[in-house]
Structure 1
């Protein structure tokens, strides 16, 4: 965490960090530009974009927000850091999930070590996969803390693989709530075992944001809830709602936490 800017450190310390996720597969300059502008206007903490050198340079050309790039490809990560990326996230495993591939804890640790050898002085966040049981998630989190990772992120259940069998697939709100529940459970358990800041992502909306800090989250990752807004004004207003809700820690909304055999 020492590698983060003082402003970001304060956001995480006060449990009010907001990461706006443009999307790992989103390469639409116009859409990403709108999202980045909204994030800056609403005083979000930083923006997460695809690991694309052109996009990194474009965002850095007009935005003062720290830029996080998400990838599992060391070469792409290295090139984006050279282009000006401020934070690295090892995560967004959806590409593998869609192919039925699930990365092991050992593979993640090896990947992080390789990336750290390439970019020594850049903050690194790692997403802890949802499909690991809670003991395995804690074991991975502790190992990542030991090797010098700066941030962790939790994720919820990946539904796309199971869209035909899920009875809740026609109720997106229920799906997102279940996904958030899984992410919050991971956040709570991991936060009891490591000292690293944890970002809760997957299904986070303005309705549930205020409860995340109660589960040990130092920040939230917001993606689809912002991306589906059509205009810059709507995006900005929504992020402002997230920020105001996150600061209101006295309003605690209960979210059902599933068991640990996710």
Structure 2
């Protein structure tokens, strides 16, 4: 039985099919309940699809009691994800690799497959997502995505370390800056989407400007985190989420949009010159 047949997941399936997913990340190492509540309520007001919170059963149980939004938790520990399942979480993601990158700890393709299989054994018929590590070469990212689809993973997420390059073009510095920050995750999304049929969430450095390009590249939605940190008020953050939701759901021909075509060209150039 598909986890999307669950009544609570029908809305998620619809949003993924329409490529309108907006995931709000509260901070996967953020255990401050007051900050989490602020972001959760902001996500509700902004019309987000679901929230991603720390993989802590007590926090999951509490947040479940105050929001109607589906809850995603991320961890590399299958037992931790299972405990969050018991607490009422809806989506389970093998990810949150950032803390390990700082310690020079990397995850191999085989290790990710092992974690995915172990988690699926513990959490049957629930939505299971796997983040594709940006530390892997692009061909291994594609191979991993194909293998994950074969073993029944429901969602994939791409990530990327933010580009440090400051060389901006006079055409539109802010526009190009948005692409530079998201260039790795966008290129991964495009490459992986050519080989799998399961939904992809593009995350890491995504803004309201680069979000439409993620959809154009084959994503079913985007994850927002760092783009919200520059705002202090709930209303400002909610408006930003609404802007992003509008940008990914606007139905127009992207091929005729010169800024997006320019952004695509710049992204390809950056990937080829810096990362391949």
Same fold? TM cut 0.5:
yes
Alpha-carbon displacement from aligned partner over 1:135-191 (angstroms, at most 9, x marks no partner): 1111000000000000001111267xxxxxx5649x999776324111111111111
Q: 1:96 aligned to 2:100? A: yes
Instruction: Provide the rounded CA distance (Å) in 2 between the counterparts of 1:188 and 1:47.
Output: 24
Alpha-carbon displacement from aligned partner over 1:184-228 (angstroms, at most 9, x marks no partner): 111111111000100111111112222221100100000111233
Instruction: Provide the rounded CA distance (Å) in 1 between the counterparts of 2:174 and 2:105.
Output: 24
In structure 2, what is the equivalent of residue 51 of structure 1? 55
Q: 1:31 aligned to 2:40? A: no
- More helix by proportion, 1 or 2? 2
| Contact persistence 1:53–1:83 (CA under 8 A) | yes
In structure 1, what is the equivalent of residue 67 of structure 2? 63
| Contact persistence 1:17–1:218 (CA under 8 A) | yes
Instruction: Provide the rounded CA distance (Å) in 2 between the counterparts of 1:182 and 1:131.
Output: 10
| Contact persistence 2:165–2:180 (CA under 8 A) | no
Instruction: Provide the rounded CA distance (Å) in 1 between the counterparts of 2:146 and 2:118.
Output: 18
| Contact persistence 2:2–2:125 (CA under 8 A) | no
Alpha-carbon distance change, 129 to 234 in structure 1, aligned in 2, over 3 angstroms: same
Q: Look up the SS of the partner of 2:106 in the other structure.
A: coil
Q: Look up the SS of the partner of 1:23 in the other structure.
A: coil
Instruction: Provide the rounded CA distance (Å) in 1 between the counterparts of 2:160 and 2:77.
Output: 22
**How do 1:180-195 residues align onto structure 2 when only pairs under 5 Å count?**
180-195=182-197
Instruction: Provide the rounded CA distance (Å) in 2 between the counterparts of 1:176 and 1:30.
Output: 29
| Contact persistence 2:175–2:209 (CA under 8 A) | no
TM-score w.r.t. structure 2 length?
0.86
Instruction: Provide the rounded CA distance (Å) in 2 between the counterparts of 1:51 and 1:100.
Output: 22
In structure 1, what is the equivalent of residue 91 of structure 2? 87
**How do 1:62-211 residues align onto structure 2 when only pairs under 5 Å count?**
62-157=66-161, 168=166, 177-211=179-213
Alpha-carbon distance change, 176 to 245 in structure 1, aligned in 2, over 3 angstroms: closer
Instruction: Provide the rounded CA distance (Å) in 1 between the counterparts of 2:178 and 2:160.
Output: 9
Instruction: Give every structure 1 segment of 4 or more consecutive aligned residues whose post-TM-superposition deviation is greater than 4 Å.
Output: 166-169, 171-176
In structure 2, what is the equivalent of residue 162 of structure 1? none
In structure 2, what is the equivalent of residue 248 of structure 1? 250
TM-score w.r.t. structure 1 length?
0.91
Q: 1:7 aligned to 2:37? A: no
Alpha-carbon distance change, 237 to 167 in structure 1, aligned in 2, over 3 angstroms: closer
Instruction: Give the number of the structure with larger relative contact order, counting CA–CA contacts within 8 Å between residues 6 or more apart.
Output: 1
